[in-house]
Amino acid sequence: MPDLYTNKVVLHFKTNLRASDFQLTLKDLAGNVVLALTNLENNKLYREELNLSQGCYTLEVIDNNNYGLSYWAFPDQGNGYLKITDEKDAALKVFNPDFGHGVNYSFYYGSYSLVQEPTIDETIYTYPNPANSLLNIAVNDQSGKLNFRVIDMNGKVLIDKKENISANSIYPLNIADLQSGAYILEIINGKDIFHKKFIKN
């Protein structure tokens, strides 16, 4: 599961002495750029308060020279850092500055209701697990327009479907195009968000 933030967050990006080699973008689930830091100055702290709508976001930092913000073998480049804090600058997420080529970090922002195992089994269950081409999703108390999403372990959304579902029904989700591995099934019903892990053969 991606990290979850319910309150306002602040991005801190402190450049080293190679600021022009870095690119930083923050994109929403649709790929729209909500923040881009360009024409960066050396040895400068960029503090950005993120005014985000509820949803999933991906932060990407790329270093064209593959050294990261801090590298023991290249001390002449200076040192920088990257972190996410609350409004009072208390750290929520601190990234390793020795990241080489870059950082790719996905997170969810906004209010949510999260039901995890074993309570979720009373409302929704999936089978078979592992699954091959179809993942059957049995819903008991859930009904109406449900959003089914399949997310890989890097937080990337691979399947996103909205369906009108009746209570006590079974919805077959086609996962034939997924590669073998572990995934998270996310089911959104209004403000309620459910997560189930499954394996694709």
Cα(24)–Cα(30) distance, integer angstroms: 17
Q: Do residues 60 and 103 touch, judged by C-beta distance below 8 A?
A: yes
The pLDDT value given to residue 151: 93
Sheet of 91-94: strands edge to edge? 45-50, 9-14, 81-85, 91-94
What is the model's pLDDT at position 122? 55
CA within 13 Å, CB half, 7: 9
pLDDT value for 141: 67
List, in sequence order, every beta strand (DSSP E) within the chain: 3-5, 9-14, 22-28, 33-37, 45-50, 55-63, 81-85, 91-94, 102-109, 113-115, 124-127, 134-139, 144-151, 157-165, 169-174, 181-189, 192-200
Q: How far is CA 15 from the centre of its chain?
A: 24
From first to last of its 201 residues, the chain has per-residue pLDDT tens of: 678 898 899 999 999 999 999 999 999 988 999 999 989 999 999 999 999 998 889 999 999 999 999 998 999 999 999 999 999 999 999 999 999 999 999 999 987 654 444 344 456 778 888 899 999 888 876 778 899 999 998 889 999 999 998 877 888 999 999 999 999 999 888 777 888 889 998
User: What distance separates the 2 farthest-apart alpha carbons in the chain?
Assistant: 64
Question: Among 24, 49, 46, which Cα is nearest to 109's?
Answer: 49
Q: Are 17 and 41 in contact (CB under 8 A)?
A: no
Both structure tokens of 164: 């009108």
**Structure confidence at residue 118 (pLDDT):** 39
Spacing of C-alpha 111 from chain mean position:
15
Domains of the chain in start order, with CATH, are 3-109 (2.60.40), 113-200 (2.60.40.3080)
